Structure 1
């Protein structure tokens, strides 16, 4: 059983607090390349130092900014691996899946499913509201974006999955000795982590429904499937295909994507529709394909 794989007598909850602090420290180290680039431009080239996160996101050209931000997740992933192996004395596989090895077919299936839904929904929005979009495609910048995205965005999304659906899911299970508490806590923390995203400022706190709902969905498929493979594929598709397809002046990442959303930000169908309609449909598809049963026990049972 996936969530029980972290249940060991020596795995006290304080270790997860220490491990989380180590991972946070690794993220700070990962931000040093961005800081050094900012300082270089400030002191060598005389550019004024940006005084907000939004200004930082626009300080360099988009591909370079994305590269610098994504590099930090390489450090985070290394921190996660070190914490799992040397603080908790577990294998990375034990925080990934309950199967004997990672099921790449599950990752690919989930990735392709969400990629298809993202592409189709974006094209539908463009078809029905063309005035909300402009074509942003430039071949060379897009090709560079694709290279950065393909190599680094999966590291970013996998880092988040290992933290929330892997490490903390098992950590809260150690604390609570049940399954509903880890599911709830990791979803709330995952949603809260996005509080400082520019989308929240522009659209309002209602957008947290999407982030918390997404965290809940990813937690459910992890617990029901006894592993993170489906969540890893979904999250990679969500961020990679999203970065390649569409950007806006108020989104977290500014990219050389194919489309640019120029509409006024609002909490519309793109916020509510996934949580109340699309995610339940995906749960149904996954449950039929992978023969999920005993939902109540797997999502709320005691350990």
Structure 2
């Protein structure tokens, strides 16, 4: 019986042609179909609003155009829907191309172990809260109370439902499918984690945070990019170490919920009404925080899961 997470692809068909077909399907669903979905609001604005069609900002600042003519809620919905298409592609790839149960993306049991999800959710959430609290203590002047009841409660159900699905889609592809696919040939957990971190970083290079960091210099941009890499790598490490995807799913979900509901910052990829807003955007400090948070998350989560679910912990990182 195959129980090691990075070996689970062997349950299904692992011919090279199957991986080629699967990657093609996932990319098609994400970039083409998902791209069509996310462009619907912009196309609608350009058709119905002549001022928008001839606005110079359309040629110089696409993100500024979206923020000017498309409501944050609409942008949030269609961006998430585009990522859902990536998940559809992954389901097709695993179930019908590789011909193995889709549940093996999560663990060898084939079913989500929710206790591990909530452990990852709680540990990462508490670390985020502690880090934000420390930052507020050091820089209280950068935080403002931005809570708008009418907007917050209106979008809360939407965010609570759509965000965990979005983060799960990314975990299924960038952790689950990537680790298991490369695991057919690569045995090193560290190397698999690096590959996952790199591939997770690539689509995030289009985020407005990266463009904003360019204004602060090359080193800040590098730190911003490394922020995504560190996060992606540690989520891969915890997936391999616990032989399951659930803890990474929980951590990713609480990270995005924290950003969309509690504390926002300038140039965030999906602006929503949060309880607090911080005017500080420091990629260097953010990277330091990400490294510390990731290290603590890994150590604490492995320790807790080892105590509560001894059947899932791998013997090697």
CA distance in 2, matches of 1:159, 1:232: 9
CA distance in 1, matches of 2:232, 2:12: 28
Unaligned runs of 5+ in 1: none
The residue number in structure 1 matching 2:299 is 284
Matches within 5 A, 1:232-247: 232-247=249-264
Unaligned runs of 5+ in 2: 214-220
CA distance in 1, matches of 2:148, 2:118: 28
Maintained 8 Å contact 1:13/1:171: no
CA distance in 2, matches of 1:116, 1:296: 25
Deviation by residue 1:101-154 (Cα, 9 ceiling, x = unmatched): 321011012112222222333233234323212222111211233222111111
CA distance in 2, matches of 1:237, 1:122: 14
Question: What is the TM-score when the length of structure 1 is the normalising length?
Answer: 0.89
Deviation by residue 1:49-85 (Cα, 9 ceiling, x = unmatched): 4344413541312122111111112222222111110
The residue number in structure 2 matching 1:102 is 112
Segment of structure 1 superposing worse, 75-84 or 51-60: 51-60
Pairs aligned (count): 296
Matches within 5 A, 1:1-303: 1-7=4-10, 10-27=13-30, 28-49=32-53, 50-51=58-59, 52-58=61-67, 59-99=69-109, 101-203=111-213, 204-263=221-280, 265-275=281-291, 277-291=292-306, 298-299=316-317
Maintained 8 Å contact 1:145/1:244: no
Matched residue SS, 1:260:
strand
Any runs of at least 4 consecutive aligned residues in structure 1 with deviations exceeding 6 A, and if so which? none
Question: What is the TM-score when the length of structure 2 is the normalising length?
Answer: 0.85
CA distance in 2, matches of 1:13, 1:167: 14
Cα RMSD over matched residues? 2.3
